[in-house]
Structure 1
Amino acid sequence: MSRSLLTLFAPPEEGEYVGDFGMLCGFTASAGVLSRIAETFSGDGSRPRLAAFIHPTALAVTDVPGLAWMHFRLPLPFRLLHAKVALLGFCGPTEYLLRLAVSTGNWTAEPLTTSIDMFWCADLVVGARDLQLASDIRAADDLFCWLRKRCSDDLLQQTFDGARPDELFREAIDRLPADGRRPRFVDTRKETMRAQVMERLNKGGKGHLVIGSGYYEQGVSEDTESLIESLHDQLVRDRKLAKDDVALELVLNEDSCQGLYECAERLVGKGWKLRRPGSHHKGHGNAKLHAKYLYLAQHGGKGEIGRAQIYIGSGNFSRAGFESTAPHGNLEAGIVISPDPTLSWRNNAKNSIRSFLPGDFGSDVELTALAPGYAFDPPPDPPPPPPVAFVDWAGGEVRAPAACEVAVQVLGPADAPVELPCPWPAPPPAFVTLHPTGWKVPVCADGALVVPRRSAPSLEDILARIGQFPAAPIGVGEEEEEDGEDREGIDRVSKSEAFEAENNATRTYPIRQMMRLMTRLTEAQKNHDPRDWQRWCRELQQNLSDLAQTEPDMIRPFREACANPLYALSDMEFLPAGVDRQRIEAAIRHITEAWDLSGARNLWEHTP
């Protein structure tokens, strides 16, 4: 799998982990990237797997299956939600794993294509004794809890298949040790990014300072001290940077360097080297710097870097991003980490720190090449949040949640405005559009979110996917990635083709096909976690019923013999311990009706 922003949301490569629940925040997010993130994290959209806290916009992406878009109440507690963080939970057979990720890039296509960004992430198996990482995760969770209190979280308060979507996640967070260790993770709810980053940088008279940012402060004049100069002076004053014989490097977009354009000559005169963006990753040749980082190291020569620290975060080196708190500027977040001191500054070294720092440190930017670029255009005022976070469907009718006390209108089945409750014949929609705002909200039915149907699965589809549950649905799998980098997607296609070839060899033997299906289902079913039981029964009911359309030749001999093979699924031998047998029996009744086997005898009953 390629190392990209999407990788942050993929389950660990080692261990049988599946995406359980997670939260992410950011300034902007696109529909395409959010959809890929949701499917990378978990193929299941029957409950909210991810909660997205994005700066309010009229272009909110509220119709991604399995993703809860968190609508902020007004007035906003920040001028700009600029923090880019993800806190994710992965459930394994016996363990729960938490992942903290800090990014400089938004949840859009740019970090994957046209901009150079950075991210840091770390995994913690709950119960492992990593007190520092546990402290970082607790600090990030505190930020998300703060955000959640300022949003409508009605969807996350619901139960899906008998449990709240974040139930295991919250249990895992609560199990983390709380020893009072200072977190490396910081945000600007109460203190500025500058104060917190400076506090975490160690003393020691370092000899190398690199600052990089896609956006710098505006309004700097030749007579005004810039933020960069102020930071340098403070580092020297606090004895964290040596006064003399120091390597100073500033990475910027030469055609858009904002206020640095006015003071660049002065900075160069004080020893700063101006550097272009650079990256070791293919495809970044003409990419713009969007990352924000500060690198402070003991040595700046060609040997080992020695003791070093790096700030990575969302806060640009501007007054709003680095010197303001959320109520008066941006809500930012970042982390201060310590890289391996044995890394080398040498560009062609086997283990070079320059592989991680986005900058072309081999050449200078000429002053004549600089341009201030365009000023930041703040987003428009957000629209009011929707009156409901979801709607319910039951008995051929869509209705507002029971707690809703206002009238709600949606675009009905005929795309005309109707007031809830309103008739809506089966099958229920996955989302409805509120009128007149245009907000899309998810639909709950039978204790789960309605998942958009793609197409009726074939036998090959189901056989190829059984072993991937609960990480992915039983039926039709994820769509292939467009960039050709989805190695797992290629493997899935290969497996599906293998099942199809095997099935074609037995297609003239429909009874053998049915026995293969029942054998695979019962073998998989008995080993499932009881927590996935309701979803398993629901997906069996939905996907096996569809085989009446796609595999009529396989079902016909059983209809003619008046024999029902489905009852093997309710045999106690093939049930996970402690599950409700009535759920699988109800699913069998539904499939039996779809297959036109009502009244057929149980194929597995022994008659004297």
Structure 2
Amino acid sequence: MSQILPLSLAAYFVPPVDNVGVFAMLTGYSADEHFLNDALEKFTQNIKSQRAYEGVASFALMLDETHHQITAVDCPGLAHLASNPAVKNKFKLLHAKVALLLFNNKDTEQKTIRLVVSTGNWTRQTLADSLDLVWSIDFEIGQYEDEQVQTDIAKAYDFINYTLSFFDGGLLSCKRISKSLSPTSFKYQQFTDALNTFKAVKNITPRFFDNRSHSLLSQLPDLVTAHASDRKRNYLCIGSGFYEGGNASGQIPIAISAIEQELRKSDLLIKKPCKDIFINPQQCQAISESTEALTNDGWQIRSSFDSLYQGKSHTRSLHAKFIFSANEGGEECQRPWLYLGSGNITAPGFLNQASLTGGNLEAGMVFSPEGLTWFSEEEPDLCISHKLPINRDDESIITDEELLSAGGEMPEHDGLYISAPVSYFTFIKEINAESWLLPSENSEQKYQVLSLDNEICKMQEGRVSWLTAEPRQVLVSWQCNDQIVQVYVPVLDEFGRMAATELPELELDDAWMLLGTFPTLPSEGHEEGYEDKGYGSTSDTSTGSSDYHLNKMMALIEYIAQKQTEIKEFDWPQWCHRLEQTFCQMENSSSFEYFRKIGINPLSALLAKPFRPDFAENNQTEAGLLYEHGFSRIEATLKLTNLLKFGDLHE
């Protein structure tokens, strides 16, 4: 069910019970590291250092191009996509706050899609200081037929893809040096595979809407009629964190007047309704200069209401954008409808179609919040004041203009984050030679890569020379429109990990831990190896004996064989990546050194059909091919390729 709950915005990233987050795409005007790290930890169930070690993006974030860059080093698990300067924007500001999230059940193949539409930004300020609203709904794919929800999600996904067309999506299709998809690309592919199953149902009007082709206002009457009936209402209220003035000082603000006129013209409002405007008294822009005109026109100006901090010293400022209408008469709100979304009650936010000069890119929801009451002592959670930031007590009415202040203008960013000539680099380490950064694409645009000492790196045959340790990201500088632009570009390692921390050398005990906790990571200690958890200890006095290495290796192989035959197909790419990465960190392991000395490849047993799941039992399937290609790289790294296989011992 849809919900308007007094939850923290970050709480909407918590997976359903027995689920874990796979991938999410977000649009917004503002975001910060504090919020995103919190949301990513909830979504992935991995703390910041674990996500840095894993090197996989779980969020793709699209913000207005004037927003500063948020790097994957500062926020591991994030791919902040850069605006593509080669594609001309069709909107003034990217202002819509929308998220689509994919979750996967840990025990079944069940996938869940969550749509989140917020009035607030993905920031710490939204969590602590702003009065905002969120609409959210979950859909379990294949479990039940709900044509309305299916259409809502299909419309939102179409909006996400439209927005993506203005950004550099290279990080979402990044490839390893072997040309196979990176772990991030696998996650994004799972996301798109799931969302592509959603198709809008004919004759079903989506509740989600945006202003790409028509203003929010022009679409409002039809949406109200479709989702809440075409009857007239006798109550209307408007709330916004920002209001725009009239044609002259002292007039009714343009957007407020236009909304009322549009609802009257569509027979959704009676001639003399009760009308409320909810504001921040100390920052209400044009309302402070229009009090007399609004009051004369029948509007009551009210201070926003915070049910969470009512009567307490902490106060939150109204940031939510909403329009609510219903019939008064009795305790229950009759025939209610609600708009909530990103569009402020202004011309660029609500009256105009998105355009480069006149309208922001906005999105929102229109729906009927059934069961609301005007006042309720028996069920206070159903009271409208607990769902919306409004209070209709007489003392909330403001009649004295001196109590109001216009405040400042809508804050705007002063940065610029556009895509560099390359989307990412791959680090290439050559034995007894210098290392290189291989660009993701050949660019006609000239650029420079700066070293950690801020020196220009040498470039040769399209590669960038790198003289120090493997970097997580590098600073790229180039000229764009007569100005020098600099952004950080992430670096992929040989495993396709993005902006990841250094991998430690591992022993067999560490492999038990890394593989045993799949699909999550161990809770701590991964930067310096893993502590023993009861599978034996490398500090055992017999660690140098042949019996130790044989027994330990055979136990690990048996454990892997049992575990991977139970892996679900949805998790298979991640398992293959974990397996390859773990074993390739064991090149200097004493156990593998022992097997190289006796000339046997102990891992060859894992290629046998009984030790593989049905969907990957041979190289005739994509899953099987993925597994075998990964094994070839493992054997090459560990120098096992030409050694005797277990099957050969009996021939």
The TM-score, its normalising length taken from structure 2, stands at 0.76
Query: What letter corresponds to residue 469 of structure 1 in structure 2?
Result: F
How many Å separate the matches in 1 of 2:523 and 2:266?
A: 61
How many Å separate the matches in 1 of 2:512 and 2:397?
A: 58
State the match for 1:263 in structure 2. 290
State the match for 1:53 in structure 2. 62
| Paired residues for 1:15-94 under 5 Å | 16-19=19-22, 21-42=23-44, 46-57=55-66, 59-63=68-72, 64-74=75-85, 75-92=88-105, 93-94=108-109
Q: Secondary structure at the match of 1:331?
A: coil
Aligned length: 580
State the match for 1:417 in structure 2. 456
1:385 aligns with 2:419: yes
How many Å separate the matches in 2 of 1:47 and 1:508?
A: 35
How many Å separate the matches in 2 of 1:439 and 1:54?
A: 15
How many Å separate the matches in 1 of 2:173 and 2:533?
A: 45
| Paired residues for 1:568-583 under 5 Å | 569-570=606-607, 572-577=609-614, 578=616, 579-580=624-625, 582-583=628-629
1:199 aligns with 2:222: yes
Q: Secondary structure at the match of 1:145?
A: helix
How many Å separate the matches in 2 of 1:214 and 1:60?
A: 25
Q: Secondary structure at the match of 1:168?
A: helix
Q: Secondary structure at the match of 1:320?
A: helix
1:528 aligns with 2:567: yes
1:439 aligns with 2:487: yes
State the match for 1:210 in structure 2. 237
State the match for 1:296 in structure 2. 325
Q: Secondary structure at the match of 1:13?
A: coil
1:316 aligns with 2:339: no
| Paired residues for 1:52-451 under 5 Å | 52-57=61-66, 59-63=68-72, 64-74=75-85, 75-92=88-105, 93-127=108-142, 128-159=144-175, 161-162=180-181, 164-165=185-186, 166-180=188-202, 181-202=204-225, 203-218=230-245, 221-224=249-252, 226-244=254-272, 246-281=273-308, 285-299=314-328, 303-327=331-355, 328-340=358-370, 342-350=371-379, 351-362=382-393, 363-366=395-398, 367=400, 368-380=402-414, 382=416, 385-395=419-429, 396-412=435-451, 414-420=453-459, 421-424=463-466, 428-435=470-477, 437-446=485-494, 448-451=496-499
- CA deviations on 1:441-496 (whole Å, 9 max, x unpaired) are 122344623352277489998766646533x34685899xxxxxxxxxxxxxxxxx
Query: What letter corresponds to residue 323 of structure 2 in structure 1?
Result: L
Contact 2:26 2:61 in 1 (8 A): yes
Deviation (angstroms), 1:87: 2.0
Q: Secondary structure at the match of 1:243?
A: strand
How many Å separate the matches in 1 of 2:635 and 2:313?
A: 56
Contact 2:252 2:294 in 1 (8 A): no
Contact 2:109 2:568 in 1 (8 A): no
Deviation (angstroms), 1:406: 3.1
Deviation (angstroms), 1:39: 4.2
Greater CA drift, 561-570 or 387-396: 561-570
- CA deviations on 1:42-67 (whole Å, 9 max, x unpaired) are 45665544322210126121434443
How many Å separate the matches in 1 of 2:306 and 2:573?
A: 47
Q: Secondary structure at the match of 1:167?
A: helix
Task: Rate the CA distance shift 1:2–1:269 in 2: closer, same or farther, 3 A.
Answer: closer
How many Å separate the matches in 1 of 2:456 and 2:631?
A: 39
Deviation (angstroms), 1:101: 1.2
Contact 2:250 2:292 in 1 (8 A): no
How many Å separate the matches in 1 of 2:456 and 2:471?
A: 16
How many Å separate the matches in 1 of 2:271 and 2:408?
A: 35
Contact 1:87 1:141 in 2 (8 A): yes
- CA deviations on 1:312-331 (whole Å, 9 max, x unpaired) are 10001112211112111211
Task: Rate the CA distance shift 1:600–1:412 in 2: closer, same or farther, 3 A.
Answer: same
> Structure 1, unaligned stretches of length 5 or more?
480-496
How many Å separate the matches in 2 of 1:394 and 1:387?
A: 20
How many Å separate the matches in 2 of 1:599 and 1:475?
A: 37
> 16, 23, 44: which one pairs with 1:12?
16
State the match for 1:486 in structure 2. none
Query: What letter corresponds to residue 214 of structure 1 in structure 2?
Result: G
How many Å separate the matches in 2 of 1:415 and 1:39?
A: 33
Deviation (angstroms), 1:256: 0.4
Contact 2:561 2:606 in 1 (8 A): yes
CA-based RMSD of the aligned residues comes to: 4.2
Task: Rate the CA distance shift 1:465–1:348 in 2: closer, same or farther, 3 A.
Answer: farther
Deviation (angstroms), 1:106: 1.0
State the match for 1:493 in structure 2. none
- CA deviations on 1:221-249 (whole Å, 9 max, x unpaired) are 224564324423443343212334x4433
Q: Secondary structure at the match of 2:334?
A: coil
Task: Rate the CA distance shift 1:67–1:599 in 2: closer, same or farther, 3 A.
Answer: same
- CA deviations on 1:573-607 (whole Å, 9 max, x unpaired) are 433331245446446547857xxx99999999988
| Identical positions, percent | 27
Contact 1:462 1:474 in 2 (8 A): no
How many Å separate the matches in 2 of 1:178 and 1:85?
A: 18
Task: Rate the CA distance shift 1:54–1:477 in 2: closer, same or farther, 3 A.
Answer: farther
- CA deviations on 1:367-398 (whole Å, 9 max, x unpaired) are 23211111224434746532121123334311
Contact 1:465 1:477 in 2 (8 A): no
Contact 2:420 2:487 in 1 (8 A): yes
Task: Rate the CA distance shift 1:534–1:590 in 2: closer, same or farther, 3 A.
Answer: farther
Deviation (angstroms), 1:196: 1.4
State the match for 2:619 in structure 1. none
Task: Rate the CA distance shift 1:533–1:384 in 2: closer, same or farther, 3 A.
Answer: closer
How many Å separate the matches in 2 of 1:87 and 1:567?
A: 41
> Structure 2, unaligned stretches of length 5 or more?
430-434, 479-484, 617-623
Task: Rate the CA distance shift 1:95–1:261 in 2: closer, same or farther, 3 A.
Answer: same
Q: Secondary structure at the match of 1:260?
A: helix
Deviation (angstroms), 1:103: 0.7
Task: Rate the CA distance shift 1:251–1:586 in 2: closer, same or farther, 3 A.
Answer: same
1:469 aligns with 2:526: no
Query: What letter corresponds to residue 179 of structure 1 in structure 2?
Result: V
- CA deviations on 1:9-42 (whole Å, 9 max, x unpaired) are 333225x4541x3321111121332333344434
Deviation (angstroms), 1:105: 0.9
Query: What letter corresponds to residue 23 of structure 1 in structure 2?
Result: M
Task: Rate the CA distance shift 1:248–1:461 in 2: closer, same or farther, 3 A.
Answer: farther
